[in-house]
Structure 1
Amino acid sequence: MTKHDATRRSRPYLFVLLLFATPMWAAFAFGTKPESESQAAELTTVKVPEKFEAHFVAKPVVDQPVARVAAGGGSKVDPIKANGRIFEGWAKPDLALVFTGEQMGFFEPCGCAGLENQKGGFKRRMTMVKGLREQGWPLVLMDAGGLVRRFGPQAQIKLGKSLEGLVEMGYEAISFGDKDLRLDMLSEAVNLDPNPLLSANVGLVDFEAGFTQRFRVVERAGMKIGITSVMGEQETKNVSSVSDLVVLPPEEAIEQVLPELEAAQCDELILMVYGNAEESRELSKKFPQFRWVVAGKGGDEPPNKPAPIVESGARLIEVGHKGMYVVVLGIYKQGDPKYRYQKVPMDHRFEDAPEMERLMEQYQNQLKTLVQAAGSFEPLTGKPQPLPEEGGGYVGSDTCADCHVDACDVFMASPHAHATETLVKLDPPRHFDPECVSCHVTGWNPQGFAPYVTGYESLEKTPHLKMQGCENCHGPAKSHVEAELGEVDATDEELEKYRALLHMKVVENEGNMEGQVLGDVVKNCLECHDLDNSPAFDFQEYWDRDENPVKHEGKY
């Protein structure tokens, strides 16, 4: 079955419990015939050395107790069984080109539990990069842009830390995404050392200011790799009003830098385009000198092989979204294949690199410092948002439990009751991070990453609003409680009105899978159980499962 279209919501990294998904991927190789039989045998029989596998093969999760995860259950998975092996049959390449892009703010995989079922994150990427280097692979790392997708203080902090992390990994070229440039990129650029920012058609202040380069020639392992990048036409329009930028049409910019790249007599020419696959193809047709063209805004997942662009003879590489994959292109100066292609899933076969763990800790500490200094989340979220509906305000699940006994018993046995606790117990803790808090407390806008008026403020100020509480689904209950307890004068009509505001009903065959009815209840669930955080969420299974069901009804 496939997900209902309405599940295609998105939100940057926050932590909820997930099921696993197991996308398929494969290695692809192409090139000329081998020059000798011995060389052919070497390239077809070579397997990943034991030492090499040790870097990338997680300890098998087999013959161990099965751990259920939220959103319907599931088991811990062996990443090799789930996603396959990597670099099978590869000899060590003469050079490996590493491509990423469209990070979209996900420099950690979403999920406070079940991370073995998720892909992505700088910590895993750093481990992969270090492992390849330890095996003697010469690397050239390039990012096609799109580090963030939100705005505001938290996005600015995330942009800075993302750039810092890429520099620490050793990236040679980092392109711009339009949302990257709608933040204060200049203040980040001045602190980069070295500075790998690269764009032929976007200059910070101007092209001669030194904050970016229009192209770069990287010499590695006796080869020259010429790299340039452009933002697509629509993306340049999106930043037309941003100050301190010089922007050119992509074609004009490529025409200006290409002669210099050709004069450098590079072994490989690479064009990164922060645009869609079709625009990237069109630019390749006009500039066939580039052997490799990277579409920064391609499909959600990299294809199993680079697509040929017939008119130019180039190959199109798509990097996917949210940092879930890294594309590695192995170059062999002699023999067959000339090139090998691998999309590498950033799953838990890669251990967390301590360098990136420190970076994540610094990021969380910056958020914590801002929140604690102000005594609220306002430095990151702005003023609390108006209540989403009538109800007077949030009172907390303990108040609901005074009357709704059976429903409360169901709730307390569910992971929702421990949602805030999971953030506090993480290392580093995430309960000062609005992108996490918004689905782990009561009274926040889950897709807006900000509190509502009377919503959760902190563990100290509003302990009654911790947990993913009753009112996140049923709505704020202050008016209902006051009326029922006689704290305010209310007519029978008003009593019924307040009750009706909080009432929810699961309709027949309600769910989020194909052929099911997308009702109001499941729509509410999908505010947090979206594709980013619960890619395998199945409402019907979750609602009435054998262990810790969520189904509840009536007052008693």
Structure 2
Amino acid sequence: MSESSSQWRWFQHALIVVTMLATALCFAVGCPAPSTPNSSEDPAAEKDNGQTAKPASADEPSASGEQNSEGSKDEASHSGEDESAEKAVVVDPAPIDPEAKKKASEEPEELFKDWPEPAYVLFLTGRQHGYIEPCGCTGLENQKGGLARRDTLLHQLRSKKWNVVPIDVGNQVRRFGRQPEIKFQLTVNSLQRMKYQAVGLGPDDLKLPAGELIALIAGDSNQATPFVAANVVVLDRSLLPEFQVIQVGDQKIGVTAVLADAQHKLLNNGDLILEPMVASLTRVWPKLAAAKCDFHLLLCYGSLQVSRQLARQFPQFQVVVTAGGSGPPTFEPEVVEPARNLLIQVGPKGMYAGALGIFSDPQNPLRYQRISLSSRFKDSTEMLDQLKSYQSELQRTGLTGLGLRPIAHASNRNFTGSQVCGDCHTKAYEIWKKTPHARATDSLIKPPERQDIARHFDPECLSCHVTGWNPQKYFPYQTGYWSLEKTFNMKGNGCENCHGPGSHHVAAESGDLGVDDQQRAVLRKQMQLTLADARQNKCMECHDLDNSPDFHDPGAFETYWKEVEHRGKD
């Protein structure tokens, strides 16, 4: 056994003994209840992310806006729990990196500076939540995340001749339906290409049909699966391993994963068996211990509070990787008392990666680097090919094959197209034609970036780039856009996306609908949109925090309004 292996084995046993003594003392003398912050955590978005280092810099995007299973963009996180949050343990990053306090408020320009060669590096990601590439109006240079950049970072680490062990906490997709199934298949293929060694399952992954899911994640005689779950059974317990043992040189890494109990209520699938996480870990640990690993890692798809509790209850895991927390992940791991094991956040939407270096130096055995997947990382050609293949599959499947069926608009009116509006509102129409709104569909057909990947068959893109779709739930309305061939007049983000379908108004003005002056005035009123409503509601349906963070800056609406300002009839 190597020197570093012996040190970790001794350290692990010491952690267990310390925790047992602390627990006994608590029962003997009584322990005070954990303190709580002044306000409770939002069940959907954890306010307390455990970060005691200086908050992220102003250029970090907000993490709100992840989509829920219904497809809407207003849910910030699936990892929050409906419970009061405890205050984070004060973190002293010194045991991790002596220089951490000096650099904890920013991400260094030079990554892994002064790192000696590690025994291996744990490459930690998760919570992709459907964001296989950045999405939004701000340009790729201002956005984070995506498989293409992640793959480039992995190539850079491996080019150093380091042993890199990619591990993911889970939740690759959002929503349910045929498109998420195709996206999950793409992601699994990509994770395999990037040589991921252990991958957990999130609640949205488990909303996919069990047969489709297990066909993608179960191993076979040719290739073992990287997926792992201690407390989730899909169809049959034999189809998914409860833990993984990863061999890196003479070192063995043991990994298991749990889905927090509070996440179980989000799932209603008779093909799943969801077991209590503590009981499952208690059952699985002796099997994992028997593998005599040198390092143990727990993946927890749950809140920060739950992840901390597991870190305390199972101190034999030196590191707990959590899906908890809102906003960017902390720059340094949180040290969880009393065992002083580490809690590492992965952050939202696959925008970040964490690199935990394991070293043979007993004085400094661990070093950590949080990495934003920004434009500093060029696109991986292999992953761009995967993204192109994904869009080609959406085109081949078609909107009908994806399960989309146009539904009637709530107003019971039909869309007519911006050209019809322009017959009377000529000045407003001429202004609109010069705006990016008019070219919204063209930007999918021939994107300004990654130009060879057309996206005009992708419902998640079409919803804000054509006329007559629900921008939050990705489905078309009757008489809205369906294809360039059938509904060319619905190209662009047109007048009726903001003002509503105009059929009744057009019919009344043209004389095709018999109305008196009072009724005509009512129909005109229905088409009006006040600036207040536009600012507070309508524009935000597409220009949300996810897609247009700059739109939410003070004074941004007034600035952008000047570029599209138009008022009533000529």
TM-score over 0.5 for the pair? yes
| Cα deviation digits, residues 210-233 of structure 1 (max 9, x gap) | x31111111113221111111110
* Whole-Å separation in 2 of the counterparts to 1:103 and 1:32: 27
1:86-125 to 2 correspondences below 5 Å: 86-111=111-136, 114-125=139-150
CA distances 1:480-531 after superposition (whole Å, capped 9, x unpaired): 1111111222221221111101111224xxxxxxxxxxx4543100000011
**8 Å Cα contact 1:205-1:244 kept in structure 2:** yes
* Contact 1:83–1:345 (Cα < 8 Å) also in 2: no
Cα deviation, residue 2, structure 1: 10
Match of 2:192 among 143, 163, 167: 167
Specify the alignment match of 1:255 in structure 2: 282
Q: Give the corresponding residue for 2:419.
A: 398
TM-score, normalised to structure 1, is: 0.80
The residue type paired with residue 291 of structure 2 is: A
Residue 550 (1) aligns with residue 560 (2): no
Q: CA deviation at 1:176?
A: 0.7
Deviates more, 1:433-442 or 1:184-193: 184-193
**Are the structure 2 counterparts of residues 269 and 8 from structure 1 closer, same or farther at C-alpha, using a change threshold of 3 Å?**
closer
- AA matched with 2:171: G
| 1:382 partner amino acid | L
Amino acid at match of 2:227: L
Match of 2:248 in 1: 220
Query: For residues 32 and 365 of structure 1, do their structure 2 counterparts lie closer, same or farther at Cα, with a shift above 3 Å needed?
Result: closer
Deviation string, structure 1 residues 197-253 (Cα, Å, up to 9, x no partner): 101111222222xx31111111113221111111110123333x4233333211111
Residue 386 in 1 paired to residue 408 in 2?
yes
After superposition, residues 19-418 of structure 1 pair within 5 angstroms as 30-31=94-95, 84-111=109-136, 114-184=139-209, 185-190=213-218, 193-208=223-238, 211-239=239-267, 241-334=268-361, 336-371=363-398, 377-390=399-412, 392-418=413-439
* Deviation digits for residues 23-70 of structure 1 (CA, Å, limit 9, x no counterpart): xxxxx9644899xxxxxxxx99xxxxxxxxxxxxxxxxxxxxxxxxxx
**Counterparts in 2 of 1:226 and 1:484: CA distance versus 1, 3 Å:** same
Instruction: Identify the residue that residue 550 of structure 2 maps to in structure 1.
Output: 536
Give 1:489's aligned residue: 514
Rate the CA distance shift 1:505–1:247 in 2: closer, same or farther, 3 A.
closer
Q: Which amino acid aligns with 1:387?
A: H
Determine the C-alpha separation between the residues in 2 that align with 1:368 and 1:523: 32
Q: Distance in 2 between matches of 1:216 and 1:525?
A: 47
8 A Cα contact 2:138 2:548, kept in partner:
no
Conservation of the 8 A alpha-carbon contact between 1:270 and 1:290: yes
Deviation of the 1:550 alpha carbon: 1.6
Q: Which residue of 1 aligns with 2:530?
A: 505
Residue in 2 aligned with 1:516? none
SS state of the match for residue 203, structure 1?
strand
Distance 2:455 2:96 in 1: 51
Q: In the aligned structure 1, how far is the partner of 2:58 from the partner of 2:160? A: 40
Query: Partner of 1:328: helix, strand, or coil?
Result: strand
Query: Matches of 1:214 and 1:362 in 2, distance apart?
Result: 32
State the match for 1:451 in structure 2. Answer: 476
**Partner Cα separation in structure 1 for residue 432 and residue 165 of structure 2:** 51
CA distance in 1, matches of 2:384, 2:336: 40
CA contact (8 A) 1:416 1:467 kept: yes
- Aligned pair count reads 476
1:160 CA drift (Å): 1.2
Aligned to 2:457: 432
Measured after TM superposition, the shift of residue 555 of structure 1 is: 1.3
Q: Is the 8 A contact 1:327 1:342 kept in 2?
A: yes
Relative to the length of structure 2, the TM-score reads: 0.78
Q: Is contact 1:94–1:138 with CA below 8 Å preserved after alignment?
A: yes
Looking at both structures, which has the greater relative contact order when contacts are Cα pairs under 8 Å and sequence separation is at least 6? 1
Note if contact 1:199-1:230 (Cα within 8 Å) is conserved in structure 2.
yes
Check conservation: 2:218, 2:240, Cα contact below 8 A: no
Contact 1:29 1:341 (8 Å CA) reproduced: no
Q: 1:482 to 1:147 in 2, by over 3 A?
A: same
Secondary structure at 1:419 match in 2: coil
Q: Equivalents in 1 of 2:65, 2:203: separation in Å?
A: 21
Alignment RMSD (CA, Å): 2.7
Following superposition, the deviation at residue 298 of structure 1 comes to 2.7
Task: State the SS of the aligned residue for 2:141.
Answer: helix
| Unmatched 5+ stretches in structure 1 | 15-27, 35-42, 45-80, 372-376, 508-518
Deviation at 1:548, TM superposition (A): 6.8
Give the superposition deviation at 1:540. Answer: 7.2
| Greater mean deviation of Cα atoms: 544-553 or 182-191 | 544-553
Structure 2 match to 1:515? none
Instruction: Give, as a single letter, the amino acid of the residue that structure 1 aligns with 2:394.
Output: L
Q: Aligned partner of 1:244: which letter?
A: D
* Percent sequence identity over aligned pairs: 38
Amino acid aligned to 1:88: K
Q: Secondary structure at the match of 2:197?
A: strand
Match in the other structure for 1:53: none
Residue 271 of structure 1 contacts residue 294 of structure 1 at CA under 8 Å; is this kept in 2? yes
